[in-house]
Amino acid sequence: MTCAEFQAVLPYIIDNGGNAEQQEHLRNCEVCSGLVNDLKYIAEQAKLLVPMMEPPKKVWDGIKTSLEQEGLVKDSARGSLLSSSARTRWGPSNWLLPIAAALLVAVGLFYYHNNIAERQAPTEANSAMAGDTANVAGSSATAVQSASMGNEQDRQILSEIASHAPSLSQAYQEDLQRVNAYIADAQGIVARNPDDEDSRQALMEAYQQKAMLYNMAMRHSLP
């Protein structure tokens, strides 16, 4: 066997040693045995390379920012959405705030499905008109219900923000006004277009935005 023949098959036999003829050549050929020793030595040294490169801090900063934006993390320093310290500081009535946020979404869902149920009832045009009126009335009642709940909780949120994060007070006030206007607009559109899926979806999203605003306010007002 020549060196050329041996080295042509070397990639496929280096781990298992090859057949008898190949092993014979390896024993007797200084060039090929030197080559095999070098290649094995390189592989062995590579195994010893430790993962010693440290990523810069900005890598973790980027990860953390993305996790928060995607809502994948809750800050464990503050525990769950409502820590025991917040519960103590806020008092027994104020721990209802996250529940209020959830209720907002629930009201939105009720409103959403209420419209669907009422639309399924009418059989005649007049009935349809009556149904529309009922829809509007129903939606108004629901809107008043959610609005009154929202107003009280809005006042509570703004009060807490003013106490514990006054620099954010103005921003939260404006954000609440915007999201309340968004909810009111969405309610109006749904009332006028009860068949419009997009409108109902927009109303749901409006309630969800307000719930998110409440959650953010909670975090900002915690120590």
Partner 1 sequence: MRPEKGELTQAKKTLVPGLTEADAIDRAKRGDAESFEALYGMHKRRVYSLCLRMTGNTAEAEDLTQEAFLQLYRKIATFRGESAFSTWLHRLAVNVVLMHLRKKGLPEVSLEESLEPQEDGPKKDIGARDNVLAGSIDRVNLERAIESLPPGYRIIFVLHDIEGYEHNEIAEIMGCSIGNSKSQLHKARMKLRDLLKTSRAEKATRN
Q: How many CB atoms lie within 10 A of CB 39?
A: 13
Q: How many CB atoms within 10 Å of residue 57?
A: 8
Rounded distance, CA 104 to CA 212, Å? 11
Block residue for tokens 């104020």: 94
Q: Is 24 in the site for partner 1 (CB under 8 A)?
A: no
The residue from 55, 91, 92, 223 that contacts partner 1 (CB under 8 A) is 55
Q: Is 171 helix (H, G, I), strand (E, B) or coil?
A: helix
DSSP conformational letter for 16? T
Q: Which of 17, 21, 23, 67 binds partner 1 (CB under 8 A)?
A: 67
**Binder to partner 1 among 19, 74, 117, 219 (CB under 8 A)?**
74
Q: Least distance (Å) from partner 1 to the CB of residue 216?
A: 15
| Residue keyed to tokens 């020793």 | 37
Does 51 sit near partner 1 (CB under 8 A)?
A: yes
**Whole-number Å distance between alpha carbons of 82 and 72:** 17
Binder among 75, 152, 174, 198 for partner 1 (CB under 8 A): 75
Sequence-distant (≥ 6) Cβ neighbours of residue 165 within 8 angstroms? 220, 221
Q: What is the pattern of x (binds partner 1, CB under 8 A) and - over residues 180-199?
A: --------------------
**Contact between 20 and partner 1 (CB under 8 A)?**
no
- Comparing CB distances to partner 1, the nearer of 24 and 174 is 24
Per the listing, tokens 């419009």 go with 196
Stretch that binds partner 1, among 60-68, 157-165, 172-180, 211-219 (CB under 8 A): 60-68
Window of 26-34, 106-114, 176-184, 207-215 that interacts with partner 1 by CB under 8 A: 26-34
- The continuous run of DSSP H or E covering 87 comes out as helix 84-90
Site residues (vs partner 1, CB under 8 A):
3-4, 7-8, 10-12, 14, 30-32, 34-35, 37-39, 41-43, 45-56, 58-60, 62-64, 66-67, 70, 72-77
